[in-house]
């Protein structure tokens, strides 16, 4: 992996992954793309950046050719909550975008990564320590997109020999980029709220258990998987990975260890709750550990301490309007 093209590079994962890859492989070797540019973003100012709508296949292929990349990391997607408010658009962006990305990878013989999610599971999936191979009948458009994406990536590996790899991410928590319209965004918003208002109105019920991961562990997982020996990978698309699972009342209690006066209230958002209730409580990450040495560093307390150490004092992250 020497020259990398990233789609969705200004998103929640993309903004941290681009920084990490540029630090590791050299700024000029990481070409960031996003459907919109933000002049204020360091990613746009500090290294190669192109505006790319992943639905524009010709431009997608031209960028890969012009920069002579050898790796494609496809992150551009609509997340679960936004996808439920715009399912037809989500299908178009998430599926046509992934197909275009896989076609570019096939045409250019690229190493390929795209994330799946715990959203690829549904109500009939075993909830606790969800196995690597199990029932996948998601009840959200996002989940349908993720299962179809996993199957497409396996197909492109088997049929065309494209070196496709992926992980099923839990909810990701980060401080660099604001939440992006996901069901697990509450776990980020609550950190902003704890620092600013000292109180948070949670859109999920107090006992909603979800698998979560701190972004530094997610970034290391992507890099470790892409650097792994491909001959040892069996469950390529996509590996369960996991580091912690908690409920809103558990993260609130942990926050009160740091901010004793923090108060949590609840106003359940029925759409978000329905999505969250359809997902597993925790994942079994044995295959990722055995096939490419997946590991993690952060648990709940360590993540909170790092978030509060880095989170600038600023307006609480605004929940995406269509979710209110």
The size of the interface with ligand VAH (CB under 6 A), counted in residues, is 13
| Torsions phi, psi for 20 (to 5 deg) | -65, -40
Query: Least distance in Å: CB of 215 to ligand VAH?
Result: 11
- Verify binding: residue 143, ligand VAH, rule CB under 6 A: no
Q: Residue 166, by phi and psi: left (phi above 0), alpha (psi -120 to 50) or beta?
A: beta
Percent helix / strand / coil, the chain, rounded to 5:
45, 15, 40
- Verify binding: residue 177, ligand VAH, rule CB under 6 A: no
Query: Least distance in Å: CB of 18 to ligand VAH?
Result: 18
Looking at beta carbons only, is 149 or 170 nearer to ligand VAH?
170
Task: Report the distance separating Cα 306 and Cα 24, nearest Å.
Answer: 22
Query: Least distance in Å: CB of 81 to ligand VAH?
Result: 6
Beta bridge partners of 117: 169
Task: Report the distance separating Cα 218 and Cα 214, nearest Å.
Answer: 7
Q: Which of 100, 164, 183, 245 binds ligand VAH (CB under 6 A)?
A: 183
Q: 120 near 172, Cβ under 8 Å?
A: no
User: Per CB under 6 A, which region of 42-50, 131-139, 176-184, 288-296 contacts ligand VAH?
Assistant: 176-184
Site for ligand VAH in 88-127 (CB under 6 A): 117-119
For 205, how many CA atoms within 13 A lie in the half-sphere containing its CB? 10
Active site residue 186: no
Looking at beta carbons only, is 119 or 248 nearer to ligand VAH?
119
- Verify binding: residue 171, ligand VAH, rule CB under 6 A: yes
Task: Report the distance separating Cα 190 and Cα 127, nearest Å.
Answer: 25
Q: Which of 10, 32, 69, 79 binds ligand VAH (CB under 6 A)?
A: 79
Contact residues for ligand VAH (CB under 6 A)?
A: 79-80, 117-119, 142, 169-172, 182-184
């Amino acid at each position: 992996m020497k020259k990398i093209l990233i789609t969705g590079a200004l998103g929640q994962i993309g903004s941290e992954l681009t920084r990490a890859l540029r630090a590791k492989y050299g700024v000029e070797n990481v070409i960031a793309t996003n459907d919109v540019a933000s002049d204020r973003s360091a990613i746009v100012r500090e290294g190669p950046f192109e505006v790319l709508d992943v639905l524009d296949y010709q431009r997608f292929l031209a960028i890969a050719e012009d920069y002579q990349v050898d790796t494609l990391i496809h992150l551009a997607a609509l997340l679960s909550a936004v996808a439920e408010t715009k399912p037809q658009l989500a299908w178009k962006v998430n599926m046509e975008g992934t197909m275009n990305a896989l076609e570019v990878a096939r045409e250019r013989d690229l190493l390929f990564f795209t994330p799946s999610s715990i959203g690829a599971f549904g109500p009939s999936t075993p909830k606790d320590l969800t196995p690597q191979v199990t029932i996948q009948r998601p009840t959200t458009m996002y989940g349908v997109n993720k299962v179809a994406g996993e199957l497409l990536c396996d197909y492109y590996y088997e049929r065309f020999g494209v070196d496709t790899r992926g992980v099923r991410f839990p909810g990701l928590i980060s401080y660099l980029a604001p939440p992006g319209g996901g069901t697990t965004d509450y776990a980020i918003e609550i950190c902003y709220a704890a620092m600013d208002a000292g109180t948070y109105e949670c859109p999920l019920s107090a006992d909603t258990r979800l698998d979560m991961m701190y972004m530094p562990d997610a970034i290391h997982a992507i890099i470790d998987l892409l650097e792994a020996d491909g001959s040892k990978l069996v469950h390529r698309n996509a590996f369960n990975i996991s580091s912690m699972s908690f409920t809103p009342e558990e993260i609130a209690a942990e926050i009160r260890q740091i901010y004793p006066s923090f108060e949590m209230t609840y106003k359940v958002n029925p759409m978000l709750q329905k999505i969250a209730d359809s997902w597993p409580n925790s994942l079994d990450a044995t295959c990722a550990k055995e096939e490419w040495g997946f590991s993690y560093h952060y648990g709940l307390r360590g993540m909170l301490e790092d978030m509060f150490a880095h989170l600038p004092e600023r307006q609480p992250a605004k929940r995406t309007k269509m979710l209110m």
